[in-house]
Chains A and B, each alone.
Chain A
Amino acid sequence: MAPNLSAAETVPTEPTVPTSMDLLRLAAVGSVDDGKSTLIGRLLHDTKQLFDDQLVAVEEASARRGSHAVDLSFVTDGLRAEREQGITIDVAYRYAATPTRKLVIADCPGHVQYTRNMATGASNADVALVVVDAQRGLRDQTRRHTCIAALLGVRHLVVAANKMDLVDWDPRAYHRVVEDMTSLAERLGVEAVSVVPVSALHGDNVAAPSGKAPWYDGPTVLDALESVPLRTTTATREQPARLPVQWVLRRPGGGRAYAGMVSGGVLAPGDPVVVLPGGRRASITSVTVADRVLTEAPAGLSVAVELDTDLDVSRGDLLAGPVGAPRVVETLEATVCWFAEGPLRAGTPYRVKHTTRVVPARVVAVTGRLDVRSLAVERGSQLEENDIGTVTVALSSPIVVDDYRQNRVTGSFVLIDPTTNATVAAGMIGPLHLGPTGTTRQRG
């Protein structure tokens, strides 16, 4: 069966096999029915990342459900319940590659009750692809998702003003999305916004430029994604270096190496480090990945380091470099996304997992609740499911932290219900701060 898609021409790409690529993590977010899954399906299809047998399966599934056109949302809606209900329940991860980048795409659910799954998909993202129905403009859920993505530290938005075919490619519909998104992004402190008029259904401006919007000369969605700068390739020695210790490796001769993922800055032999929370000092004598000796290790690599001094270092400790000392705290002021069905109230005991340490904790106060429509923080004493708010958490033993805005690893934690082990909240250390940090700009 030949795929019969009303496709714009696919991008002409030779089957080249780059040996070395960047890795871009992207979260597709937005309200239900605005076309996220269809856009991801289209992006995969037009970059030739869908296999013929997968396309045939999608066509058959579409036909079985009485759809005349091929429904590309079936590409990512992989669970039976999702296909039956025509909604996305949980994040689907899909993979695409451009000549220079491997894309890890988290297709996030749009329903408010699955916000925890959306946050799961967005927590590691470099960029959010926000899908907006150009007929209807921004909805509450678009604002909520964009807000959560911004709180989670996503600094770049690529916005697909979708379903342009249904407004006859009227530039006014596009400009309305541009205005609303730009002003939202400014208030959220998101640095770069690129709004692209698209039809995910027909493939216009997704991977290939479209002739249907002569008034638009900006990038396609794919071009915009290719130009997003990556945080993983920008680690420098000027940034505070962090290594949460995961595991202690014993050398045959009796020495020890401390294994973990570099989580900020760059570590190199000769660097002085302080072991926290204890505060003892030492210098790094070697940085290795198995039997490879590295001259330096940037954030994102899993390494083992040896020190020149024999210290008591174990899992849960943090090695910090000479620049920018972290804080040792027993109380956290943090912003949380609350995921559990019941409310979060002050006084409840939880466990905090922060880097590689798990400590008993108690939420001592709920200090505020964010209104995602007005972006104002109201006074409040409890949070309901999917609310975002500010809390004070008392810890039973000290942990070593940075503000989330300085470091996504040492600034984040989850709250775990000690009776069910459920992960009930995502926490970001530091004040709830929404607002301009730089220049928001509209490209294209």
Chain B
Amino acid sequence: MTDTLDRPANRLADRVAEPLPGWRRAAGADHLDLLEAHAIFVMREVAAECRAPVLLFSGGKDSAVLLHLAEKAFRPGRFPFPVLHVDTGHNFPEVVAFRDRRLEELGERLIVASVQDAIDRGRVPDPGRWGSRNRLQSVALLDAIGEHRFDACIGGARRDEDKARAKERVLSFRDDQGRWDPKRQRPELWQLYSGQLLPGEHLRAFPLSDWTELDVWQYVAREAIDLPPIYFAHSREVVERDGMLLAISPWVQPQPGEHVSERTVRFRTVGDATCTGAVASEAATLQQIIAETAASRISERGATRADDRFSESAMEDRKREGYF
């Protein structure tokens, strides 16, 4: 995708080759520079303060940005944490291919926590062939945290995604059951992130807290970050269900009365294939996606995620259960 980039000129990277005239004025960094700097800072603090951190990777754009930021924070060294994919088993094949390719390039360790395993072991009920495995991810995640004794999960969640997430700290604590208690969040002053934990507790760290969907796309363009191809407009067989366009897959088949059509679509988020909708879009380049994102009238999750539509506190409820 990198050949389609129109890279913005006014950024720090383009200002480094030679001293700028009047550099005192040029001391300003732009919003992407500052968001990047903060995210790198958070990753380094978590790596330094926590005993066994892990980076959560879904194959989506936010976690692709996280991997990129981890490179900026820790190269030329190795990442001071492994990468964990909570695999629902209902994946877009392009995303799994992307995951494997990126981890191969990076030479970092990948751990896969499988929802199918959790079902097979009887940890969670099987929602059936057509059921969403979104909520079951919490169990697979918490099991992996217990098994590997992780004490910090670095995730790509953003506060602009949801009104419960809008309330969450950058370092967000979980009790020994993995639960978030929104009424007992630690004060988080300045950039003094305290990662100290009691036995059994763990924390979630969200370096992209203050990034919006648009910031992510602008950063992806600026940094030429590789993404799975399903983010770009392509032709795909879809069925319209509950106002969303669901891709036909082994887990999504037309039901009686539903009509399958070939549409030009792209995905705004990547999750379990049974509850992640595509949007009709002709945006095939990053600049087209940025323009479309800026003009969009529907939120990222509202457009594409059936999992957030259950109630006005769907996300809060899932987070209380240990969700990302």
- Say which residue of B29, B294, B303 sits within 8 Å of A232 (CB atoms): B29
A15 to B21, CA, bound (A): 33
Cβ B47 vs Cβ A247 within 8 A:
yes
Of residues 278 to 295 in B, which have CB atoms within 8 Å of A's CB atoms?
A: 290-291, 294-295
Interface size class of A (residues with CB under 8 A): 35 or more
Residues of A within 8 A of B164 (CB): 78-79
Cβ A233 vs Cβ B29 within 8 A:
yes
Q: Is the C-beta of A374 less than 8 angstroms from some C-beta in chain B?
A: no
Query: Closest approach, in angstroms, between the C-beta of A127 and any C-beta of chain B?
Result: 16
- Say which residue of B45, B162, B212 sits within 8 Å of A356 (CB atoms): B45
Q: Is the C-beta of A116 less than 8 angstroms from some C-beta in chain B?
A: yes
Cβ B194 vs Cβ A90 within 8 A:
no
Cβ A93 vs Cβ B210 within 8 A:
yes
Query: Closest approach, in angstroms, between the C-beta of B189 and any C-beta of chain A?
Result: 4
Residues of B within 8 A of A296 (CB): 19, 23, 27
Residues of A within 8 A of B166 (CB): 76, 78, 92-94
Nearest residue (CB) in B for A48 is B297
A296 to B16, CA, bound (A): 8
Cβ A15 vs Cβ B294 within 8 A:
yes
Query: Closest approach, in angstroms, between the C-beta of B76 and any C-beta of chain A?
Result: 6
Q: Is the C-beta of B255 less than 8 angstroms from some C-beta in chain A?
A: no
Cβ B190 vs Cβ A423 within 8 A:
no
Residues of A within 8 A of B303 (CB): 53
Known: A80-B316, A249-B76, A259-B44. A54 touches B167 (CB 8 A): no
Nearest residue (CB) in B for A263 is B191
Known: A246-B48, A298-B29, A300-B34. A251 touches B187 (CB 8 A): no
Map CB proximity to B onto A245-286 as digits: 1 under 8 Å, 0 otherwise: 011011110000001110000100000000000000000000
Interface centre among A93, A354, A409 (most CB of B within 10 A): A93
Of residues 1 to 37 in B, which have CB atoms within 8 Å of A's CB atoms?
A: 8-13, 16, 18-20, 23-24, 27-37
Q: Is the C-beta of A345 less than 8 angstroms from some C-beta in chain B?
A: no
Cβ B77 vs Cβ A302 within 8 A:
no
Q: Is the C-beta of A237 less than 8 angstroms from some C-beta in chain B?
A: yes
Query: Closest approach, in angstroms, between the C-beta of B64 and any C-beta of chain A?
Result: 16
Residues of A within 8 A of B23 (CB): 295-296
Nearest residue (CB) in A for B11 is A20
A339 to B297, CA, bound (A): 40
Of residues 401 to 420 in A, which have CB atoms within 8 Å of B's CB atoms?
A: 408-409, 412-414, 416, 420
Cβ B48 vs Cβ A315 within 8 A:
yes
Contact stretch, chosen from A117-125, A165-173, A434-442: A117-125
Cβ A423 vs Cβ B12 within 8 A:
no
Known: A93-B159, A237-B24, A421-B197. A414 touches B189 (CB 8 A): yes
- Say which residue of A20, A51, A356 sits within 8 Å of B299 (CB atoms): A51
A252 to B78, CA, bound (A): 11
Query: Closest approach, in angstroms, between the C-beta of B162 and any C-beta of chain A?
Result: 8
Cβ A52 vs Cβ B48 within 8 A:
no
Cβ B294 vs Cβ A95 within 8 A:
no
Map CB proximity to B onto A358-379 as digits: 1 under 8 Å, 0 otherwise: 1000000000000000000000
Query: Closest approach, in angstroms, between the C-beta of B272 and any C-beta of chain A?
Result: 20
Residues of A within 8 A of B159 (CB): 93-95
Jot down 9 A-B pairs with beta carbons below 8 A, ordered by A: A15-B291, A21-B30, A51-B296, A53-B303, A93-B166, A289-B12, A292-B13, A293-B16, A408-B190
Which residues of A pack against B, CB within 8 Å?
15-17, 19-23, 51-54, 57, 60-61, 75-81, 83, 89-95, 97, 102, 104, 116-117, 119-120, 123-124, 230, 232-237, 246-247, 249-252, 259-261, 266, 289-296, 298, 300-302, 315, 339, 351, 353-354, 356, 358, 408-409, 412-414, 416, 420-423, 426
Q: A95-B210, A298-B27 are in contact. List 13 more A-B contacts (CB 8 A).
A: A17-B291, A78-B165, A79-B316, A81-B182, A90-B183, A92-B167, A251-B76, A294-B16, A302-B41, A358-B196, A414-B187, A421-B197, A421-B198
